[in-house]
Chains A and B, each alone.
Chain A
Amino acid sequence: MLEAVLIPAAVMGGLGGLLAVVLLVAARKFAVYEDPLIAAVEAALPNANCGACGFAGCHDFASKLVATRDEKMFCPPGGKDTAAKVGALLGLQVEGRDPPVAVVLCRGSRGVANYAGEYAGLADCRAATLVDGATKVCPYGCVGLGSCVRACKYDAIEIRDGVAVVLPEKCIGDGACVAACPRGIIRMAPRGVRVYVACVSHDPGAAVRKYCKVGCIGCKRCVKACTFDAMQFDRNLARVDHDKCTACGACVGTCPQKVIEEVGLTGEAHAKAHPPPKEKKPAAEPTAAAAPPAAGA
């Protein structure tokens, strides 16, 4: 009776032990040596494997960083924290920046932008632009069919009323939406307090007014209002230079189309950005903007 238990136990135990030895030997013999630093660096990374750094995943970034010790390599979603940790591990001064956030430079939703025609094709922005099927009259604005939504793995962007809107708390800054947009209206901006011109139309003002209530008409009031030379102007369109912008709020209040978006402004800046509505006196100019109403002919 005892043999009935002992023999199988011995056989299975022996087999198990033998296999364990084989595995042990294999683990030693076929082990791939990897610098333990790589694992340490990788642990300090966000491990989202998003590819925003330009490398094939977090492990690849870590390996290349340990190999090259290149201080310019940067992990956008990791931002300053990760840069600091990684720098400490390797004794480098890794450039730390806050992860950028995506911004959609268009607010032409169904209520404020004009549409013409009807499109019946693949519900994809790239597909629609191939056949000139985007129904918004403005040829620069958001197509609204959601290629960016499908590209984002973090549900950080959605279509509301025909225009794409970023959810900054979910955005990790990997830029997938930027690549997906066929009109290039999504850009990366620094996180935190900021202003930006939410329009990309290069059409002159008269044309823009005909098709959108919140489009940039190229009046240049914001350019004049900015005391930091941070508002660029090119072909009827204003654009914020984030390296110079101090988010003082001056430009926001002067824009007659209310195209300039502000995020996170407080106190005096907020007041500048949201002046009280003007009284109906033609000569009065209650805000700080100094530009006279009618610019040169």
Chain B
Amino acid sequence: MARTFRRGGVHPPEEKQRTERKPIETLPLPKRVVIPMAQCLGAPAEPTVKPKDAVKTGQRIGEPKGFVSTPVHASVSGTVKKVDLFPTAVGARSLCVEIESDGKDEWVEGVDLAGSDVDFSQPDAFLPALTEAGLVGMGGAAFPTHVKLKPPKDAQVDTLILNGAECEPYLTADHRLMVEHAAEIATGLQILAAVLKVERTFVGIEDNKPDAVAAMKKALAGVLGVEVVVCRTRYPQGAEKQLIQSITNHEVPPGKLPMHVGCVVQNVGTAFAAFEAVARRKPLVERVLTVSGRAIREPKNLRVRVGTPLGEIVTFCGGTTDDLRKLIFGGPMMGKALRYEDVPVVKSTSGILFFDRQEAAAVQEFPCIRCGRCLEACPQRLVPCDLGDLAEHGLYDRLADAMDCVECDSCQYACPAHRRLVHLLRLGKSEFRRLQKKG
């Protein structure tokens, strides 16, 4: 019986048929990469290289600043061309290191690309390796993994959940990763569990991916304390708090974190990266993502190096059609629409969608007809229509409830009036925070 969170959620068309059966292809080495220093939630890294420096693949080029920050590494070998502001998906001007590739892809010392052994007798060595590798949450949030794996002592974490839900339409990267690299993910899972010192682990996968379920079950067959849980295909099954409810029945209280109900959630991609960091001493310099949408000629699941400019990916995927109307980093529900076509891929880019005019069609907005579908859809049990009204009228000080919004966008999806609820909620939250800061 597929488990699911109790209230809320929507079921948008899945649109995964374009890529769910396509094996992961590796993008040829890019000619140049533009690597942003801000690749995680928290403080951006500080560059440690300057123009004309020679770098090797996997070499540190950015020092973390503070605890909630991660190091950044070169994703190709070559020469540093510039350390300057570039347009990125984060913002129009972000500090990046531009490296011109020498085509050789020479890795730094100590990296064993074929390694697969993990010494579980020395679990204390894992966390430093993960931290050094610059691991961040690969599901899209980009939260520094080493921070998540070090909850405060009083948190009492006893459960690790691996998030293989991939509830966003169009995206199939995690799906293919589980089908093709189940063994590595399984090892990565055990590494993460060892760091957290938990004995209970779950892998949550939506029921629209039966092959991934089978692959993970097989890879985890001999491992104790792990259960693969099949969850109902419903958006946002992959949202942390909802997945925790589906699997453990616990509800994370408003304003609190999963660790307060004893859970830590990690994306399957992060588990894979954890395996590579420990078994291969490989820093996080590449990731798998889905390229899809009707305006790209050859949708694919791609393994790309961090910092790869979009142009190289577009060329490899057959180019865009003339009808390209919207460019989205991420999925169609929570992804970000971009104005420029030449931005680089970062650690948290899970998908790149090229929407044509039809897919991107703007819809006519109507006034709220008080139908109540938004509150039926909200998995956090908020009342989005009312919160949207408050934001619309500038009553930002009354938006304390909006801070529990996870911006899953289910409400706007469900709204027949197509009100811009998410935009209003975002504005409201931002203004509320500003007011709070003013004191």
Contacts and interface: CB of A to CB of B under 8 A. Distances in A.
Contact of A116 (B93, B336, B339, B430): B339
A132 B339 contact: yes
A122 B170 CA distance: 26
B339 A131 contact: no
A130 B391 CA distance: 14
Interface stretch (B15-23, B37-45, B421-429): B421-429
B362 interface: yes
Given A120-B362, A122-B420, A131 B337 contact: yes
Nearest to B428: A127
A121 B418 CA distance: 12
A135 interface: yes
A130 B91 contact: no
A220 interface: no
Contact of B340 (A116, A120, A130, A203): A116
B420 A131 contact: no
Interface string B330-352: 00000011111000000000000
A93 B362 CA distance: 61
Given A122-B423, A131-B423, A139 B339 contact: no
B366 to A, nearest CB: 15
B420 A126 contact: no
Contacts of A117: 339-340
A126 B430 contact: yes
B420 A121 contact: yes
Interface in B58-90: 85, 87
Contact of A132 (B85, B338, B423, B427): B338
Nearest to B325: A118
Contacts of A135: 339
Chain B at the A interface: mostly helix, strand, loop or mixed? mixed
Nearest to A182: B430
A130 B427 contact: yes
B376 interface: no
B113 interface: no
A132 B91 contact: yes
Contacts of A139: 87, 91-93
B431 interface: yes
Contacts of A122: 420, 423-424, 427
Given A116-B339, A120-B362, A122-B420, A127 B427 contact: yes
B420 A132 contact: no
A139 B339 CA distance: 12
A81 interface: no
Nearest to A204: B84
Contacts of B87: 139
A100 to B, nearest CB: 21
A124 interface: yes
A124, A131, A132: most-surrounded residue (chain B CB, <10 A)? A132
A52 to B, nearest CB: 16
A148 to B, nearest CB: 14
Given A121-B423, A122-B427, A139-B92, A131 B336 contact: yes
Contacts of B427: 122, 124, 126-127, 130
Given A126-B430, A126-B431, A139-B93, A132 B336 contact: yes
Contacts of A203: 85, 93
B87, B92, B362, B424: most-surrounded residue (chain A CB, <10 A)? B92
A139 B90 CA distance: 13
Given A116-B339, A116-B340, A117-B339, A131 B426 contact: yes
B91, B339, B362: most-surrounded residue (chain A CB, <10 A)? B339
Nearest to B429: A130
Interface string A263-296: 0000000000000000000000000000000000
B339 A130 contact: no
Nearest to A127: B427
A143 to B, nearest CB: 12
Contacts of A120: 362
B247 to A, nearest CB: 32
A147 B416 CA distance: 28
A132 B338 CA distance: 8
Contacts of A131: 336-337, 423, 426
Nearest to A116: B339
Contacts of B336: 131-132
Interface in A103-153: 116-117, 120-122, 124, 126-127, 130-133, 135, 139
Contacts of B91: 132, 139
A131 B425 CA distance: 12
Nearest to A124: B427
Contacts of B423: 121-122, 127, 130-131
B209 to A, nearest CB: 31
A190 B311 CA distance: 48
Given A116-B339, A122-B420, A122-B424, A132 B431 contact: no
Nearest to B394: A150
Contacts of B420: 121-122
Given A122-B420, A139-B92, A130 B338 contact: no
Contacts of A127: 423-424, 426-427
A133 B85 CA distance: 19
B371 to A, nearest CB: 22
B175 to A, nearest CB: 28
A131 B339 CA distance: 10
A116, A121, A139: most-surrounded residue (chain B CB, <10 A)? A121
Interface of B: 85, 87, 91-93, 336-340, 362, 420, 423-424, 426-427, 430-431
Given A116-B340, A122-B427, A139-B91, 7 more contacts: A121-B420, A122-B424, A127-B423, A127-B426, A130-B430, A132-B336, A139-B87
Per CB-CB distance, the 7 closest pairs between chain A and chain B, nearest first, are A139-B92, A117-B339, A127-B427, A120-B362, A122-B423, A121-B423, A130-B426
16 contacts: A116-B339, A116-B340, A121-B420, A121-B423, A122-B420, A122-B423, A124-B427, A126-B431, A127-B424, A127-B427, A130-B427, A131-B337, A139-B91, A139-B92, A139-B93, A203-B93
